[in-house]
Structure 1
Amino acid sequence: MEDETENHHLTEDVVMVDILPRLPAKSLFRFKCVSKKWNDFISHDPSFPQKQSQCFSSFSGLLFHNPQGSELGLGLTSPDEKSHGVPDPSLRFIDDPVEIKASCKGLVCCKSHTNDSSYYICNPATKEWRVLPNPPRDHDSMVDVVLAFDPFDVPASYKLVCVFSSEYEFEFEIFDSKTDEWIIPRVMFTDDVLSLVWDTIYSTISVRGIIYWLVDPSSVVLSFDTDKNCCRSIHLPKLTAKERESQAWLGEFEGCLSYTNVVKAKGKVKVWILCKPSLGEWSLRYNVHLETTLEHQPELWRSRRAHLWTLPCQDGEVLLLYLLSQQELFVYYFKTQKLNKFPILPPGFANFYSYTNTMVRLPRYLEV
């Protein structure tokens, strides 16, 4: 009898320590009801939220807002609403009408819809939020905003990087949660960056404290190290002429920067990962033909040329497919080769942000 009791406790401890951290936040909130021990562990163990944000990094869904009109439509759509979700996707727990500007590892950056100087950081799963001090200068809609959060940093901290760009220069303003202050860093630019001429920067993402964005029309990625305040360029992988003219975006794949390129006319999707950042070396991870991918979805494949669009996604492990004629959104998982449909699609034009359902805690937060 004692052996059975010991085995029961051993099994329960293994589940709590090794399995619970691998689950999304919505499932964990339900599991609080299993027992007082589980509730205390999930709710009050100071190390659990960060461990869960380290172990659970799966694509959970898309946060969106519709920027048209005075009323902002905010929400969350997920291919699996039962296991992923947030209690208030409209973010009304923040006492200010906001629009989403960036998302990273379960944390979301919002900006006041009425005040260009007010930024908020929140975790939609836990409804924790905080307002940041006002930045050094006014921020209009042209400022590129990226949230940098690495769950493996101890203690948990984040940076909000705001980029002001023009044809020949960059300027940065950075909020650091460790110091609770904004700084205007003195940035070191390598010669190759100083010689670039660009029309626009886009597809911004942070990976392990490094900010990356694509530069148009140059075939390079710019990187900004938020610890060393150094900005350099990285050449894209070798591309064909068709690939250079095709839709492309940056993402994160297994902790590495990813580059996804879609040649729609040929129905080809390629995903590279930056395997050696210091050397600028890329490795081709996936080379997918949509015809093969969608062979079990004939209605999608018949519509592919005129009505099937691919949408940029910061999660490099998935591909978003939008069927315009049916107004349906699908997600394709490269690893499992599975295709799932989103049950909810926001009306009209919307901005999408990849979301991961984590329990990470916010330093200096307010809780509703």
Structure 2
Amino acid sequence: MEKKINYQFKILYFFGIFFIVACHCGYGGISLGYEWFYPGAFHLALFAFGSGYFYKTSYEEHIGSFIIKKVKHLLVPLYLWNFVYAIILMILRNNKFTFGGRISLYNLLISPMINGHMFALNFPTWFVFPLFVVQVATVLMRKPLYKHEKVNDWVVLVISLIIGITAAYAGKCGWNRNWKLLFVRAGYLFPFYQLAIVYKNKWEKHDTLNNIAYFGILFLAQLLIIYKYGGTIYYTLSWAIGFENGIIATPTIVAILGIAFWLRVSRILAPILQKNKLVMMIADNTDAVMTHHIFAFFIINTIYAAINKLTGTAFCSSFDWEQYRSNVQYAFCPENLGQFRIVYMLAGLILPLIIVILQKKVKEKINGRFKKITT
């Protein structure tokens, strides 16, 4: 039987990774309603929500297999690419670049779990380990209740909301270093993973409100928050910054509103965007885009640097070599025109796909040679 594809959530994943790349390059020179629903307030929660939607209760019957599967899918690629970027960064640091840290056992093995920024070019992968913690904590918490399906979703949701709000409060109190930071990151994401499970099991079939009423309620709620706090609320989950804005539940509330908005937009656009091969490929490879888009920015900067060196005062005359060598998120805009950030946006979404294609071809060649040796 052919597996049914949920295009609404594929489109949701596409928007989620689009927002993450945009937030790392000055929003890519464009705005998709950021004045109302600022992506920094919900894009990571959106990924936790999307992941939770595909949770299966069968995982609770075979916890060991589930954890092994997640280690293979999340942690093995994390550590492999961490090693690759460590080597790349070592080469760059020997050539006058100053961003990132040095290779050490701590940065190779421990830092990806509690920091994630050690080698700079792949710093967005800090998100992987907190997500892994959320997924494992969920199956462990649900296991004792799996025979009581009627109460399971609600009990875990309530517990997760308490943990999420506690994590936000911890961030407000300065828990932004070492293992405390991991608690804030994973704890904050925890309720969104559970919300998706409840949405799928309980609410989705009732999500039939017409678009005018649906968006009207969301915009009214968001407008009240904007009025209350004098603008959109956002935070930087990677370093637990911004949780002091509003009451401790505010970050959770604004993230829910942002997710709800783009969840419905994804439903509306799914019939159109599901036919776009590039959008579908990005949606299917969000992990690769997450891992490599900063490196893609660096490649664009390197191209600009080469143009600057070859042409002198033409086009890239204002290119900042110091920023290029010291700031991994430097985005050069000729004549200070912010619209040029779209170059970084496109590179951040597309160049990682090229890495995926090359990776698959190398894997196929290795497998082919291995088969020849063994036959």
TM-score in terms of structure 2 length: 0.25
Higher relative contact order (CA closer than 8 Å, sequence separation 6+): 2
Whichever structure has more strand as a proportion of its residues is 1
TM-score in terms of structure 1 length: 0.25
